[in-house]
Amino acid sequence: MFEGYFGAVLIMLMRICDVSIGTFRTILVVQGRKYLAGMTGFIEVLIWVFAIRFIFQHLDNTANLFGYALGFGLGNLLGISIEQKIGLGYVQLNIISKFHTDIIANALRRAKVGVTILPGEGGTGGVAIIVCIVSRKTQKKVIEIVEGIDTTAFITVQSSLPYRGFVHGSRK
């Protein structure tokens, strides 16, 4: 009895590890970090092979199947959480504020965030669009600054893969 549950827990832990690594690897692939993605993929698949090998050797134990499925689900949660903490890469924030564009732009510049203001036109007339390219690690801080000034500001966030030029880590 104990041996059956031990196997299920072991499989679950292996799946948590390989799925977490797989989630992280996917981000690396999207960002074009091929060598790091290759190394993490090797580790991910090696763990998966050991897990599936154990399952096939003990197919008669239903608890192993539940351990496999639970490990997959928890691995996704953990992988996303780890990736959010590490915050690899960059995002582009587009910010539209009806009345506080200059105040927001100045606050972001004081916080050493690069800001570009573009003219735009909305349904009610002219607007200004604040565009910032920031590391994912600082995304939350930037949004907090904006929301501290204008809680009704329209903010979009999208992944950004800088192609050329320099994105400041921290501005002088």
pLDDT tens track for 72-107: 999 999 998 888 788 788 899 999 998 999 999 999
Domain boundaries, the chain: 2-86, 90-160
The pLDDT of residue 172: 46
> What are the DSSP calls for the chain, one per residue?
-HHHHHHHHHHHHHHHHHHHHHHHHHHHHHTT-HHHHHHHHHHHHHHHHHHHHHHHHTTT-HHHHHHHHHHHHHHHHHHHHHHHHH--SEEEEEEE-SS-HHHHHHHHHHTT---EEEEEEETTEEEEEEEEEEEGGGHHHHHHHHHHH-TT-EEEEEEE---SS---SS--
Task: Please tell me the predicted confidence (pLDDT) of residue 167.
Answer: 62
- Give the chain's residues under pLDDT 50: 170-172
CATH top class, domain 90-160:
alpha beta
